Structure 1
Amino acid sequence: MDQKLDLIIGSSVTSGKNETFSAIVFVNEDMGVQDFNYVSVFILVSALAIMWDHDAIYQQVKAVGSEFYKKGIQVVNRPTSQFLDRTPWDDRNGEAFGPDPYLNGLATGLTHFLLYEQETNRTKNANSIDPNPATGPLPYSSNTDDKTLHEAYLWPFYDAVKNGMGAVMCAMIKVNNTLSCENSDLLLQQLKTELGFPGVVYPDTKAQSSSASDSATNGEDYGASNIWTTSVMNALLANGTLSEARLNDMSIRNLIGYYNAHLDNGLQPAEPSDGAWVDVRGNHSKLIRKYGAQSMVLLKNENNALPLKKVRRMGVFGAHAGFIVGGPNAEISIAGSGPTYQSHLGTGTGSGQASYPYLVAPLVPLIVRASEEGTILNWILQDNYTASAGSSLIPSVAGSTFVAPSYAETASDSDVCLVFLNALSGEGKDRTELYNADQDTMVKTVADNCNNTIVVINTIGPRLVDQWIEHANVTAVLYGSLLGQESGNSIVDVLYGDVNPSGHLTYTIPKNESDYNVDICYTSQCNFTEGVYIDYRHFDASNITPRYPFGHGLSYTSFSYSDLTMPHSQSRPLHLSTAPTGHRTVGGYSDLWDTVANISITVKNIGKVNGAAVPQLYLGFPESAQQPVRQLRGFERVELATGKQAVVTFPLRRRDLSYWDVGAQKWLVAGGEYEVVVGESSRDFAVNGTLVVRTHG
């Protein structure tokens, strides 16, 4: 009994045979091992999602996992499927895979369970904001209906559980007015019974309440030693509040992932000290550079401004192009970070901040290119620079003065102008802006004086561009998330065409902030009245034209789509039972995961350079299912040499055709016609067809 009680509070356990089970080690960050030396800083998971590449997701996660493993760590407190980017003002959107449950689920994650969609009022503290204290105590409660919970927020965790997730972090907020870490509906019913999750539930920082019984009996398996003390837990066992069966379940859940991953084979190294010379990086820098480049989205490219050819005179503008005075490992505040970063931004903040071995800012490879190609390169690395032509801002040296150039002067002397922008936010405080006045003024000033102005943006979430996107001299926009230690190399690889961009947006960029339908909630009762209608589902339902739609991304080449093959039509419908008939297993009913149809399309590279297409399949459901206009249900990244073509197949699982029926408390399939469209974004459809389903039982 004492060993079990030690196990569930994260203590090492010694048996009577002097055998010791060392406590499992938990460490933050999916970009790299936080607070350790000699580790890599990978691209942010939001950048990984932008690649829309199943294999790349696997390869990066494998590489990250190997570094944690070699540092003696068993549990990575990342990545996250919630935040689901319900609101663009949520400051941790960069740590997640975007607002589409399907894409989010295939990438998978383990935190935060569930409905944790903003930082404001996440805990009861001095910084809490509640204009009406009578509405109740903080932290806030995310309140939603059962259909929304399943079809949006719970959906990705089905995939994560099915694919072997061993641990889940419960959030520090409330769900439907019960703390997440003692919410039996969430943890015992939905996670452990409905989804069949066999692993451990452990709390986020400050997420466990002071009530030992409420957390232990309602689904939390790993807790704080100052709350689950030996005396308190023994008292709960003695009075029957906590059963021995439940304690056994908690103990097993703390171990099952460890043994499932074969960590008991004695091969994993022990955890070293933070600064110990244990270099786990291998050749990961090459993978980071490659994936960073592949994750960049080409939003605009007028007159083939990109890729850059041999440039005579280039101007570079913005703090994001260069370096802060000290760094790159200066700590970024866990609260109140941003809204921009006055240096090159390659990693997140707070628990989402990785530990650089080095950082490549874009100015470095640009200088190398200039030296190789004879380019004259000038730069102003400041977002709010105000010097005018002829002003003397630098002190005299030996009787001489240096003249500080202006934006206008430097821009007008350049054949190509590169303007670098970033948007920073992170754990602890939500975003205050989706565009930045200083940066936008810089872009417009440069563009007014340079007829080939190219804007590069790295951001943790949506960054609006309508202040200048239609300026005649803004010829191209390259856009992405945070790219880790090789960031500058990745960006310059795309700018010069060494890599053909193939990233696609994982969220919608609107024309106006007001086009979004969900803001930050400032009361303790946060009602998800929008249901599943976030991001492109909202834009489609409200018939709002975005600046750039979900899934958008250009290339230096062009692709054609043809020969949509539909296996089931009116004459040959797909026959399915209305409700699943399989047995309960890890991931829910077993037949939810059956492939019930394969839809294929031919993609051809009709351009002049090699490139990668990302065809996307969207489904429109029969009206009886009460679903959005259309939803992502398939994607694939396919590399094609010029003139070559390939057949891309989209497997549809039973769950991809299912909707949540509140009355039946099951995933049901609606009979009828399903609209099938395939194209390059949620608004750009090349081909379409109809899938016909007949249901029985």
Structure 2
Amino acid sequence: MRLAYINASRIFKVLALTIVLGISAARAQSQTPVYLDDNQPIKNRVEDALKRMTLKEKIAMIHAQSKFSSPGVPRLGIPDNWTTDGPHGIRPEVLWDEWSQAGWTNDSCMAFPALTCLAATWHKDMAMLYGKSLGEEARYRNKNILLGPGVNIYRSPLNGRNFEYMGEDPYLSSQIVVPYIKGVQQNGVAACVKHFALNNSEGNRNTVNVNVDDRTLYEIYLPAFKAAVQEGGAWAIMGSYNLYKGQHCCHNEYLLNNILRKEWGFEGVVVSDWGGVHDTHQAIFNGLDMEFGTWTNGLSKGKSKAYDNYYLADPYLALINSGQVGTKELDEKVRRILRLSFLTTMNKKRPFGSFATEEHALAARKIAEDGIVLLKNKGNVLPINLNKAKTIAVIGENAVKMMTVGGGSSSLKARYEISPLDGIKARVGTQANVVYARGYVGDTTGNYNGVETGQNLVDKRPASQIMAEALDVARKADVVVFVGGLNKSDNQDAEGADRQSLSLPYNQDKLITELAKVNKNLVVVNISGNAVAMPWVNQVPAIVQGWFLGSEAGTALASILVGDVNPSGKLPFTFPVKLTDNGAHALNAFPGNDKEVTYKEGIFVGYRWAEKHNIKPLFAFGHGLSYTTFQYGKVTADKKSITASDKITFSVNVKNTGSRDGEEVVQLYISDPKSSVQRPVKELKGFEKISLKPGEQKTVTFTVDKSALSFFDAAKHDWVAEPGSFEALVGSSSADIKTKTTFVLN
């Protein structure tokens, strides 16, 4: 009996212990692993995920598995990373291993205006709206890395890719890129700012080594990237194709390790441009994290697993297994990629996004309207008075040609694109008769990367007959709107090749000259992302810079032409009269040869060069007219002198003295008349876009500190503000200064 009791007691204890242990085990199993716990700091989640990964899983994560994706860790529930072009809209889907279209029927996006147009808004709110809208489209398509925006500086008007960038001024680019990034990333999509750095020409971009002094590098070509990192909090940066200091920029010791990570504290991912990686050892040690596009068709070299042969794939694994390199650098790369995943695909609060919606159409239209620039308006030809103009002649190929297709990686399959002709017709309705004539024949193709416009622009008539028809139509009209400029064909505004000339192609200069002779009410609309020569400028009363405006191009342009919207865009780069008015070309320093290019003009890019040499531009940086007028008061400062730790605030009253609502971009420039080093005549250091009703007045204020007064001292490798007298200049463009004041830095 006693033995039975003892055995029963032991059994009870064993059962009890088993139950307790079972409960404990169940609790342990129900606890969320650290890497899956949203409540844990991202750093802890990264370390927990990293220690669970195998060597092969780590290697797999740092290179592509398809044209646009890299693997996650399926075993751990970490999703793949999916990238997408581009900066102006979400690229259509392509096949896994090929550039050919995947044939989806639901990937037609909203096309937003090119980034030159966004920069021309000089409006930070527009940049935020742009980023937010584009981020929503990327998120809806389940992309977590958006390959944009681009912020390379406009050094020459011949760079084929300038339309994807934000102009010639580092301050303007810096101010526009920051809200763009924040807008994108609030959707759980990483902005991948490109192309870092010194990618300022296309034709020799894969082989050219850029020679530039440190002062020029830091003052002109790096500020927008620095702002993207330190103010915008960009989660990714893309390296450029070219070389600097003899190393390709996708694995460049000086740019990626020394500047980007050590100086700026960048914690994000460095992504290679497609085909931009050339060396395993440099890719390991010089700051690259993710390799894409090597042997870009994905199937080269006769190997069935082409992606395993990337520089950061099997070759890297072999070096580790042989003991030639360790895993420290690999772990750092994987940490950064995991951080990106936890900010994007692993973020449970990530919104769902939306795609090609009416809301996005309205955003695209608003940005386009805000960025269109009225360059000239002699005799108030614009806005078109529909009470008087009963016949409007629209002339030019660009009035009907689709511009969302082509141009390189930013080519889009848009849900729709409203042409300038259709936009004008829709707005005018029955108020006037709109007639069209071709005028010239340019590029009649309509296919890029398998995306087809569906347009048949072939016209086999003699050029003389096509021009004669246009002149006849123009002669009978009350107003003529010529819509021409560039397109996105090779050697125009397109990736992969530079322009061959500043002139308009397809004999447009001759046509415009003849149109001006037969009708004095001529409006020239230049569609381009670059400056063009205008030998007919004095013969044409009204000129509009129309950019590549995206899906709502025609609607936005029509609203400006008829005056529904008052133009308020300002040029983000200088229009030179001739090519040699640009510093790079005056010094025969563009594009260099296929191996070397030296930036001989140094810091004197754009308006800085023109002002140094007293060259009058065709249209100045910051220029843009309105249908109303503005009056500037006298600028004042809140103090006469400051110390290096102080800030100074400038104030100026601006009044709308015209008869209609309008927006004005008030611009602040700083000048250092007496310096120990050569400095620009003045530099942009502030701007504000304000809206004013007729008779309304507002006070605009700018607050700056010593950073606005500083230059980069290469010997000290630091920014220096020298004591002395400075000038603050306020105006409506770099060439139209309205008021100025002096102050002293003690």
Question: Same-fold call, TM > 0.5?
Answer: yes
Instruction: Assess if the C-alpha contact under 8 Å between 1:46 and 1:95 holds in 2.
Output: yes
Q: 1:416 maps to what in 2? A: 479
Q: Which has the higher contact order (CA 8 A, sep 6+)?
A: 1
The AA in structure 1 aligned to 2:283 is S
Q: 1:13-34, CA deviations, whole angstroms, 9 ceiling, x for partnerless residues?
A: 437xx43211211111111101
Instruction: Assess if the C-alpha contact under 8 Å between 2:277 and 2:311 holds in 1.
Output: no
Q: 1:433-487, CA deviations, whole angstroms, 9 ceiling, x for partnerless residues?
A: 222261111111111111111111110211121x21111xx22111131100110
Residue 7, structure 1, aligned to residue 47, structure 2: no
Residue 561, structure 1, aligned to residue 632, structure 2: yes
Instruction: Assess if the C-alpha contact under 8 Å between 1:173 and 1:180 holds in 2.
Output: yes
Residue 115, structure 1, aligned to residue 173, structure 2: no
TM-score normalised by length of structure 2: 0.78
Q: Residue 541 and residue 240 in structure 1: after superposition, are their counterparts in 2 closer, same or farther (change >3 A)?
A: farther
Cα separation, 2, equivalents of 1:365 and 1:229: 50
Q: 1:599, CA displacement in angstroms?
A: 1.8
Cα separation, 1, equivalents of 2:412 and 2:72: 31
Instruction: Assess if the C-alpha contact under 8 Å between 1:625 and 1:670 holds in 2.
Output: no
Match of 2:591 among 520, 530, 538: 520
Q: Residue 687 and residue 95 in structure 1: after superposition, are their counterparts in 2 closer, same or farther (change >3 A)?
A: same
Q: 1:269, CA displacement in angstroms?
A: 6.0
Instruction: Assess if the C-alpha contact under 8 Å between 2:88 and 2:111 holds in 1.
Output: yes
Q: 1:513, CA displacement in angstroms?
A: 2.0
Q: 2:608 maps to what in 1? A: 537
- The 5 A counterparts of 1:620-639 are 620-621=671-672, 622-624=674-676, 626-639=678-691
Residue 298, structure 1, aligned to residue 364, structure 2: no
- The 5 A counterparts of 1:22-33 are 22-33=79-90
Instruction: Assess if the C-alpha contact under 8 Å between 1:71 and 1:280 holds in 2.
Output: no
Give secondary structure in 2 for the equivalent of 1:637: strand
Q: 1:313 maps to what in 2? A: 391
Count of residues in correspondence between the two structures: 611
Give secondary structure in 1 for the equivalent of 2:173: helix
Q: 1:133 maps to what in 2? A: none
Q: Residue 369 and residue 105 in structure 1: after superposition, are their counterparts in 2 closer, same or farther (change >3 A)?
A: closer
Cα separation, 1, equivalents of 2:291 and 2:471: 59
Give secondary structure in 2 for the equivalent of 1:255: helix
Q: 1:189-243, CA deviations, whole angstroms, 9 ceiling, x for partnerless residues?
A: 011111111111111112101x211111111111254234655324433566544
Cα separation, 1, equivalents of 2:320 and 2:402: 55
The AA in structure 2 aligned to 1:564 is V
Q: 1:89, CA displacement in angstroms?
A: 0.7
Cα separation, 2, equivalents of 1:644 and 1:307: 22
- The 5 A counterparts of 1:199-598 are 199-209=268-278, 211-223=279-291, 225-228=308-311, 231-237=314-320, 242-260=325-343, 263-265=346-348, 267=350, 279-310=355-386, 311-322=389-400, 343-346=401-404, 349-373=407-431, 375-383=432-440, 406-424=469-487, 425-436=493-504, 438-465=507-534, 467-471=535-539, 474-518=540-584, 519-569=590-640, 573-576=641-644, 596-598=647-649
Q: Which moved more, 1:100-109 or 1:681-690?
A: 100-109
Gaps of 5+ in 2: 1-54, 65-69, 94-106, 178-191, 293-307, 443-458, 488-492, 585-589
Q: 1:118-151, CA deviations, whole angstroms, 9 ceiling, x for partnerless residues?
A: 111223xxxxxxxxxxxxxxx0101111111111
Q: 1:384, CA displacement in angstroms?
A: 5.2
Residue 144, structure 1, aligned to residue 212, structure 2: yes
Cα separation, 1, equivalents of 2:470 and 2:567: 29
TM-score normalised by length of structure 1: 0.84
Q: 1:564, CA displacement in angstroms?
A: 1.4
Q: 1:262, CA displacement in angstroms?
A: 7.5
Cα separation, 2, equivalents of 1:43 and 1:533: 28
Instruction: Assess if the C-alpha contact under 8 Å between 2:144 and 2:344 holds in 1.
Output: no
Q: Residue 347 and residue 462 in structure 1: after superposition, are their counterparts in 2 closer, same or farther (change >3 A)?
A: farther
Cα separation, 1, equivalents of 2:471 and 2:546: 27
Cα separation, 1, equivalents of 2:411 and 2:311: 30
Identity across matched positions, percent: 29
Q: 1:371-396, CA deviations, whole angstroms, 9 ceiling, x for partnerless residues?
A: 321x23322123259xxxxxxx999x
Cα separation, 2, equivalents of 1:261 and 1:542: 49
Cα separation, 2, equivalents of 1:460 and 1:642: 33
Q: 1:583 maps to what in 2? A: none
Q: 1:607, CA displacement in angstroms?
A: 0.6
The AA in structure 2 aligned to 1:54 is K
Match of 1:54 among 118, 124, 127: 124
Give secondary structure in 1 for the equivalent of 2:669: strand
Q: 1:38, CA displacement in angstroms?
A: 3.6
Give secondary structure in 1 for the equivalent of 2:409: helix
Instruction: Assess if the C-alpha contact under 8 Å between 1:81 and 1:104 holds in 2.
Output: yes
Q: 1:317, CA displacement in angstroms?
A: 0.9
Q: 1:588 maps to what in 2? A: none
RMSD across aligned positions (CA) = 2.4
Q: 1:685, CA displacement in angstroms?
A: 0.5
Residue 642, structure 1, aligned to residue 694, structure 2: yes
Cα separation, 1, equivalents of 2:706 and 2:325: 39
Q: 1:258, CA displacement in angstroms?
A: 3.5
Q: 1:328 maps to what in 2? A: none
- The 5 A counterparts of 1:600-679 are 600-621=651-672, 622-624=674-676, 626-679=678-731
Q: 1:547-587, CA deviations, whole angstroms, 9 ceiling, x for partnerless residues?
A: 11110000000101114121231xxx21116xxxxxxxxxx
Q: Residue 598 and residue 258 in structure 1: after superposition, are their counterparts in 2 closer, same or farther (change >3 A)?
A: farther
Residue 174, structure 1, aligned to residue 243, structure 2: yes
Q: Residue 251 and residue 533 in structure 1: after superposition, are their counterparts in 2 closer, same or farther (change >3 A)?
A: same
Q: Which moved more, 1:242-251 or 1:349-358?
A: 242-251
Residue 43, structure 1, aligned to residue 113, structure 2: yes
Give secondary structure in 1 for the equivalent of 2:137: helix
Q: 1:256, CA displacement in angstroms?
A: 2.3
Instruction: Assess if the C-alpha contact under 8 Å between 2:122 and 2:176 holds in 1.
Output: no
Cα separation, 2, equivalents of 1:222 and 1:39: 26
Q: Residue 191 and residue 213 in structure 1: after superposition, are their counterparts in 2 closer, same or farther (change >3 A)?
A: same
Give secondary structure in 1 for the equivalent of 2:514: helix
Q: Which moved more, 1:480-489 or 1:406-415?
A: 406-415
Instruction: Assess if the C-alpha contact under 8 Å between 1:28 and 1:77 holds in 2.
Output: yes
Q: Residue 38 and residue 13 in structure 1: after superposition, are their counterparts in 2 closer, same or farther (change >3 A)?
A: closer
Cα separation, 2, equivalents of 1:266 and 1:599: 42
Cα separation, 2, equivalents of 1:406 and 1:22: 59
Cα separation, 2, equivalents of 1:51 and 1:652: 22
Instruction: Assess if the C-alpha contact under 8 Å between 1:501 and 1:555 holds in 2.
Output: yes
Instruction: Assess if the C-alpha contact under 8 Å between 1:101 and 1:152 holds in 2.
Output: yes
Q: 1:244, CA displacement in angstroms?
A: 2.8
Instruction: Assess if the C-alpha contact under 8 Å between 1:181 and 1:208 holds in 2.
Output: yes
The AA in structure 2 aligned to 1:610 is D
Q: 1:520-559, CA deviations, whole angstroms, 9 ceiling, x for partnerless residues?
A: 2234110111111111010011110111111000000010
Q: 1:260-314, CA deviations, whole angstroms, 9 ceiling, x for partnerless residues?
A: 45842175669xxxxxxx8453511111112211211111111111111121222
